[in-house]
Amino acid sequence: MNLDNTWFTEIEKSNNFAFSLKVKRKLHEEQSPYQKIEVYETESFGNLLTLDGLTMLTDRDNFIYHEMMTHPILFTHLNPKQVVIIGGGDCGALKEVLKHKGVEKVYQIDIDERVTRVAEQFFPDLCTTNNDPRANLLFEDGIKWMQNVPENSIDVIIVDSTDPIGPGEVLFSEQFYAQCRRALKPDGLYVQQSESPLFQLNLLQSMHKTLQAGGFAMTQTYQFFQCTYPSGWWTGTLAGEGDLTEFRYEDAENKDFTTHYYNPEIHSASLILPNFLLEALA
């Protein structure tokens, strides 16, 4: 990360790529026991949250990521009631999950409570459902937590994780995927943010193989735009037992809540992948 005068710049050296936002001022900075947390007020993207110098979200475009990490999997599952979110400390995914009235309980497990408390202060719109009686915010190691979840007890697992480096690397491992497969019911579904297909194609290929090695019969990547993430092109990867391209189209079309990006046509379109990606994942 480089803050030069009035610009926040995130540099990705491996791809000779940089992304900048013009900022007005820094609103917050702290070193939690786990990571450096910073919040900036930008000129045109609202507030910006960074962790260890990497962009996590902005007011302007976070709705795309949060909607696409939640509604595709929840409308693919026939009747999701018990949901687990690993990570997601900013609570944006939690808010979207709780829009589904059929969901009975959501466990959000993020090791760093400070991320949530900072989000409550600087991104309050993301945290409006934190006190929903169905929400259970747990601040502990999600990997260890998953090891103690009863077998066949969860409908949907959403991994809203950081990049697969450092502490986040184990969230992309066969051992972790096997624990998730064990905790899911036979018709349970798993989704994880899977980075940029343009910049991290090797990761995507590895994820599919590792998810299958961890016990998932089927995997499916879908795509969406995210302009403040490297390359502006992002993906999620689903895992389960059945056809992951089938979803409850009519329920998505007639949903009783508002979304700003997600709709059933977007859902269908997100599953159509470019040729190079189809070939790489074959």
Active site residues: 160
Cα angle vertex 126, ends 90, 150, to 5°?
55
Q: How far apart are CA 42 and CA 202, in angstroms?
A: 33
Strand partners, 219: 239
Unique residue bearing structure tokens 């969860």 = 154
- Residue 235 near residue 224, CB atoms below 8 Å: yes
Q: Are strands 36-42 and 17-31 parallel, antiparallel or unpaired?
A: antiparallel
Compute the radius of gyration of the chain from its Cα atoms: 18
Cα angle vertex 122, ends 118, 126, to 5°?
90
Q: What share of the chain is helix, strand, coil (3-state, %, to 5)?
A: 35, 30, 35
For the chain, the first-to-last Cα distance in angstroms comes to 36
3-state secondary structure of 194: coil
What amino acid is encoded at 246 in this protein? E
Among 99, 93, 89, smallest CA distance to 66 is for 93
In angstroms, the Cα distances linking 127 to 85, 91, 251, 270 are: 15, 6, 26, 27
